[in-house]
Amino acid sequence: MARGRPGWAVGFADEVWFSRLAQPALHTWAAADERLRLSAHAADPADPEAKALACYGLWLPERERMLLRFVAGRPVSAVTCTFLAWAAERLAAEGVHVLALVWDNAPWHVSREVRAWIKAHNRRVKHDGGCRLLVCRLPSRSPWLNPIEPRWAHGKRAVVEPERKLTGDELQQRLCDHYRCPLLPPLAQQLA
């Protein structure tokens, strides 16, 4: 529906956790007498950094571009609204008037808070201009229908460090380099 319409874009959104400890499944060539094994890094109780980093992403296939924001904490409805506002503002600056946003039915996507925010946002855009969000939900339990999912897996494989555990900053920078996007300050959770 969005293809061929000027000022429209299609985007696939999702959240992911990038672990500093777990290793992704990889395949590689090795000599016959040699086995390459990736094992999870041990958690250090003295390590003050999080074991995993939460991240929001918006894959724009027509532009072959990923918009990426890390989260200080975990994905919740308020942070989802902040991410959507940031993405809509960024796309509006590029001349996009409507984003057909495809995502799953995660609780923080279908919450009253997020639905109310999208409705209010679209009303503001209609009056003041900007990028309207047209939400297209995927069926429940169907992650294979979202093209952003394989991109998460490729990103995890691209930044793996078999010999040592990455710091949170290293992991963020490597992922931003892999997805060719700037490293921005993490989205913060607003406490009531």
Per-residue pLDDT tens digits for 122-176: 999 999 999 999 999 988 888 888 899 999 888 888 888 777 778 889 999 999 9
Per-residue pLDDT at 86 = 97
d(CA 55, CA 74): 8
Greater confidence (59 vs 166) lies with 59
Per-residue pLDDT at 65 = 93
Backbone angles phi, psi at 108, to 5 degrees: -80, 0
Per-residue pLDDT at 47 = 62
d(CA 24, CA 154): 9
Per-residue pLDDT at 166 = 84
Instruction: Give the β-pairing of 52-60 and 132-137.
Output: unpaired
Asked if pLDDT for residue 100 goes beyond 60, the answer is yes
pTM: 0.84
Instruction: Give the β-pairing of 8-19 and 52-60.
Output: antiparallel
Per-residue pLDDT at 63 = 86
In this structure, whether the domain defined by 8-16+48-184 belongs to CATH 3.30.420.10 is answered with yes
What tokens does 59 get?
């894959």
Give which of 39, 18, 41, 37 is closest to 27, Cα–Cα.
Answer: 37
Per-residue pLDDT at 44 = 65
What tokens does 115 get?
């639905």
Per-residue pLDDT at 35 = 62
Per-residue pLDDT at 165 = 79
The domain segmentation of the chain, as residue ranges, is: 8-16+48-184
* N-terminal to C-terminal alpha carbon distance within the chain: 39
Question: How far is C-alpha 69 from the chain's CA centre?
Answer: 7
Per-residue pLDDT at 59 = 96
Q: What is the pLDDT of residues 4-51, one digit of tens each?
A: 788 999 999 999 988 776 665 655 556 667 665 555 555 666 666 767
Give which of 187, 188, 182 is closest to 66, Cα–Cα.
Answer: 182
The H-or-E segment that residue 120 falls in is helix 112-128
Per-residue pLDDT at 42 = 59
What tokens does 158 get?
């691209």
Mean pLDDT of 95-118: 92
d(CA 45, CA 71): 22
